[in-house]
Amino acid sequence: MNRSTIDLWVGIFVALGLGAILFLSLKVGNLLTTTTREGYHVEAAFSNIGGLKLRAPAKAAGVVVGRVEKIRLDPQTYEAIVTFVIDPQYKFSKDTIASINTSGLLGEVYVGLDAGGDSEMIADGGRIAKTQSAVVLEKLISQFLFDKAQQEGGK
């Protein structure tokens, strides 16, 4: 092979590598997902949303049923109000529980929906009353260490 052929293949390889890095960074940032599908809007209030981001999935039984559309702070209660759009083919009852979950130890953060047994369904613009906030690992570790220090100090 002559020098120009090798340079061409190296250039193609570098371009493919840069394209792969761009694709992965867009995928990790949830920027490849489009929200053109119509659906109904549901709100839920959480005391801590952890690392939840816009366009994060809303899942029920591991199936993506919607996406996070908006996150805001309620100025009266100082809770995070998460608004997500649910695909119209999925209906959830009024006693559905929303929780902030993580896929694995370092995985994506998503809204988990556990359907209840009520016969009345959540309407467009409805609010989920029962929520479970994100578990922050750093808080658990610091609380454990603080409790241990208190026990050692009391002996």
pLDDT computed for residue 73 by the predictor: 93
Task: Transcribe 60-121 into DSSP letters.
Answer: ETTEEEEEEEEEEE-TTT--EEEEEEE-TT---BTT-EEEEEESTTTS-EEEEEE----SSB
pLDDT computed for residue 33 by the predictor: 60
Both tokens of 37, joined, read 């599908």
Q: One digit per residue, pLDDT tens: the chain, 155 residues? A: 788 888 899 999 999 999 999 988 887 666 666 545 578 899 999 998 888 888 889 999 989 999 999 999 999 999 999 999 999 899 898 889 999 988 876 678 889 999 888 888 888 888 888 888 877 777 778 888 888 777 776 66
Partners of 85 in the beta sheet? 41, 67
